[in-house]
Amino acid sequence: MSGTEPLSTAAHIENLRIDGRRLGEVAAQTAFGTPVPGCPGWTVEDLLRHVCDVHRWAGTIVRERRQERPRRDFEGPGDHDELLAWYEEGHGQLVEALTKASPDDAFWAWAPAPSALAFWARRQAHETAIHRLDVEQAANSTTPFAALQAADGVDEWLTIASMRIKVPGGGGRTLHLAALDVGREWLVELRDDGLGVQRGGSGGDCTVRGHASDVFALSMNRLAADSLSVEGDT
């Protein structure tokens, strides 16, 4: 597979399985009161509760074929060990629901995708991956993302961001992101009415180059820019 080809739904589900398992293992070995650098104001317990909530919410949508957005209010147990077990159960239920679903199944999703299943597999894989990094940073035991997974994470984030984010005063300036190890590039235009995203392209008022894992972490505010090559208007 080249860096320009999208990951399959099966690959996303497998990444969700792996990163979710790693997240739970690190959380179990880390004091629940430890601050999470990537989520200011949160502790490891706050992070774990958030992911528990998201996994059970998404799992319910997929498993029950929900046609509208349900409330996200899955409140877990207060006990340390019970919360870890509740996390493991919810993660497993989400993986199972996605594995059993079909691309032909119709249920609620909130961004463009080939199917609702493709959307939720991709969204939950990257959500879980970035929070896996969060708990690893809290524990000072970080591991990189696989290159193709990370490049897809950048692409998905820019797709979502272009729908939701506006840049007052952006003035049409451009940010060029380059994931060198997989040959993926994005040219992002900063506009008052949102982001313009061009896949490929070159130039840019500022260019950031690095391994896909680092570009993904940077794009999600989990890594400082001085860890990559930056040229132009910093």
173-192: per-residue pLDDT in tens? 999 999 999 999 999 999 98
Q: What is the DSSP letter of 144?
A: P
Q: Which two tokens stand for residue 147?
A: 């290159």
- Grade residue 166 by pLDDT with cuts at 50, 70 and 90: confident
The pLDDT value given to residue 198? 94
Cβ neighbors of 183 (< 8 A, separation 6 or more) are 2, 3, 4
Q: Greater confidence, 1 or 46?
A: 46
Percent of the chain whose predicted confidence (pLDDT) is above 90 = 87
Taking the CA atoms of 51, 54, 57 and 61 in sequence, report the sign of the dihedral they define. Answer: negative
Provide the terminal-to-terminal Cα distance of the chain, rounded to the nearest Å.
33
The pLDDT value given to residue 2? 45
pLDDT, averaged across the chain: 95
Q: Are 58 and 124 in contact (CB under 8 A)?
A: yes
Is the pLDDT confidence value at 164 over 90? Answer: no
The pLDDT value given to residue 40? 97
Could you give the CA distance from residue 31 to residue 17 in angstroms, rounded to a whole number?
A: 23
Q: Report the half-sphere exposure of 170 (CA within 13 A, side-chain side).
A: 18
Cβ neighbors of 221 (< 8 A, separation 6 or more) are 38
pLDDT average, residue stretch 195-218: 94
Could you give the CA distance from residue 177 to residue 147 in angstroms, rounded to a whole number?
A: 14
Beta-strand ranges (E) seen in the chain are: 174-179, 184-191, 194-199, 206-210, 229-232
Is the pLDDT confidence value at 203 over 90? Answer: no
Could you give the CA distance from residue 197 to residue 188 in angstroms, rounded to a whole number?
A: 5
The pLDDT value given to residue 193? 87
The pLDDT value given to residue 5? 67
**Tens of pLDDT, residues 139-161:** 999 999 999 999 999 999 999 98
Angle formed at CA 202 by CA 196 and CA 208, multiple of 5 degrees: 85
Percent of the chain whose predicted confidence (pLDDT) is above 70 = 98
Q: Report the half-sphere exposure of 201 (CA within 13 A, side-chain side).
A: 17
Is the pLDDT confidence value at 56 over 60? Answer: yes
Cβ neighbors of 230 (< 8 A, separation 6 or more) are 206, 207, 208
The H or E element containing residue 153 is helix 147-164
**Tens of pLDDT, residues 73-118:** 898 899 999 999 999 999 999 999 999 999 999 999 999 999 999 9
Q: Are 16 and 95 in contact (CB under 8 A)?
A: yes
- Grade residue 4 by pLDDT with cuts at 50, 70 and 90: low
